[in-house]
Structure 1
Amino acid sequence: MFAIPLGEDGAELRPLEPWRAEEFLAHMDRGREYIGEFVGLPTVNTDLESARAFLKSYADKQAADTGRIYGIWLDGTLVGGVLFRIFDTALEYCEVGCWLEPAAAGRGLVTRAISELIDWAVEERGMHRVEWIAATGNTASIKVAQRLGMTKEGVLRGAYPYRGVRHDMEMWSMLAPEWRKLRGR
């Protein structure tokens, strides 16, 4: 197992694997309302069986090289996560996403974790394009895209039906040459 330090505050990025389902479910329970405002994770992770199945689906994606999921730990407690929802090596693009429980918000954890994912995707796996999609009302997520230096490409109107409402979704992206320039490479 590995852990990537995310700064001086005791935060770490680690693989989020099926054997961590109980810890993942406890995390979902702590942040269920906050996380669920814009992200459907709490809706599909309601008990130990569903949490294990969700994490297994990402283990299967990782085995097929089509997605990955990582947790963010702060002082030994799982407080959020980041993922490659889509990972397409043939087309050289991926989509990153995130979630965080309220106690960990506002510390830059997601920005630091997504930076690690983008760096790995671009430098190790040869991805040309990294996408970030967020509901227009999810200002915290949009601010992460902005801090990462992503470009807003547009708004997908009425694209995401969630909790009985169709949400507009903002499409942001980063291209490999832009990332390398930002990172001084």
Structure 2
Amino acid sequence: MLSLPLAEGAELRALEPWRAEEFYEFIERARPHLAPWLPWATEMDEPAKVRRWLDRCAEEQARDGRRIYGIWLDGLLVGGVEFASFRARAGVCELGAWLAPEAEGRGLVTRAAGLMIDWAVRTRGMSRVEWRAATTNVRSLAVAERLGMEREGVLRSAFVVGGVRQDVEMWSLVPDRG
């Protein structure tokens, strides 16, 4: 099993289709916390849907696209990070993250995203890493800032969650621009 340490008792691992039941259990536990920000938190309401979603993610990764990883704390899945999009030819990727409330405040998302950025830039030669978050998602926006990203602006009414349109802040890291 391949994993990267994030902190004492915490690690980052691939969130593969065979972990669908574990991911479903995480969603069930964290659904109220995740639902305001992530449409899939309400859409994936049974293990079979989670499995299909993880299957699609694995297929996309096999085509050098989207990648998804889980964050485990003391053996329990408590969150994840993903390349929501990964366009190697264009040199652009977008990071996203989620975390259960009991795991917040430990720097796990910031460390995991930092590892992913390092891999994307150093290993894959990505020229631009993006981070998008609802303007009201202060925790997510704080992660982008801690990662050294620059706020580019607001995409008005750009994202729908629970039938409600949200404004989204766009942040990016462009490594060769400092």
Please give the TM-score of this superposition, normalised by the length of structure 1. 0.94
Q: SS of 1:6's equivalent?
A: strand
Partner of 1:109: 108
Please report the RMSD computed on the Cα atoms of aligned residues, expressed in angstroms. Answer: 1.0
**Identity percentage of aligned residues:** 53
* Pairing of 1:81-120 with structure 2 (within 5 A): 81-120=80-119
Quote how far apart the aligned CAs of 1:35 are. 1.0
Whole-angstrom CA distance in 1 between matches of 2:45 and 2:160: 20
Partner of 1:14: 13
Q: How many residues align?
A: 178
Quote how far apart the aligned CAs of 1:6 are. 0.4
The amino acid that maps onto 1:69 is I
Whole-angstrom CA distance in 1 between matches of 2:41 and 2:159: 16
Quote how far apart the aligned CAs of 1:126 are. 0.5
The amino acid that maps onto 1:14 is R
Partner of 2:29: 30
Q: SS of 1:91's equivalent?
A: coil
Q: SS of 2:38's equivalent?
A: coil
Partner of 1:69: 68
The gaps in structure 2 that reach 5 residues or longer are none
Q: Does 1:162 align with 2:167?
A: no
Structure 2 contact 110–143 (Cα < 8 Å) conserved? yes
Please give the TM-score of this superposition, normalised by the length of structure 2. 0.97
Whole-angstrom CA distance in 1 between matches of 2:172 and 2:122: 16
The amino acid that maps onto 1:25 is Y
Q: Deviations over 1:143-169 (max 9, x none)?
A: 000111100000001111221221000
Whole-angstrom CA distance in 1 between matches of 2:163 and 2:40: 16
* Pairing of 1:139-158 with structure 2 (within 5 A): 139-158=138-157
Partner of 1:126: 125
Whole-angstrom CA distance in 1 between matches of 2:127 and 2:152: 16
Runs of 4+ in 1 over 4 A off after TM superposition: none
Whole-angstrom CA distance in 1 between matches of 2:99 and 2:156: 25
The gaps in structure 1 that reach 5 residues or longer are none
